[in-house]
Amino acid sequence: MTPEREEHLIDQAARLIIKHDLEDFAVIALEGTVPFGDVVGELGIMMSYPIAVTFFDRSGADFVKMLGFNYNINAKRLLKRIEELAEEKKILQQRQRELEKLVGKQEGWFSRLFSSLRSLFKRPDG
């Protein structure tokens, strides 16, 4: 497997973890298993293969092979990428909160539609 492919798989896994807010769980699981890397890596191939294929399609097989055979190195690389993406996510959330303070919370499309419909069907005062 090429180094570019390994980087792609690590980035893909880290983005999936961040997308589903699983970074705390992933950090605990990976940091807790790094010292037992050789055993965990080979057992992990059998246990994580169905899950990886479910989430990554065909890339799942490559991801399991990559993580399984060099578990210590690749788990540390994955942890580093998760930390980088989590920091980016934190900065984006902070900017979003600051923007909401300045502008106010934006209405969604449904609330805008409901308010426009309510104005159309307003009863005349009488």
| pLDDT reading at 68 higher than 60 | yes
| pLDDT reading at 107 higher than 50 | yes
The dihedrals phi and psi of 17, each to the nearest 5 degrees, come to -65, -45
pLDDT tens digits, one per residue of 72-89: 888 899 999 999 999 999
Tell me the two tokens of residue 123. Answer: 């009863």
* Contact present, 6 and 66 (Cβ < 8 Å): yes
Tell me the two tokens of residue 52. Answer: 């990886």
pLDDT tens digits, one per residue of 91-104: 999 998 888 787 76
* Contact present, 85 and 14 (Cβ < 8 Å): yes
Tell me the two tokens of residue 2. Answer: 């090429």
The dihedrals phi and psi of 116, each to the nearest 5 degrees, come to -70, -35
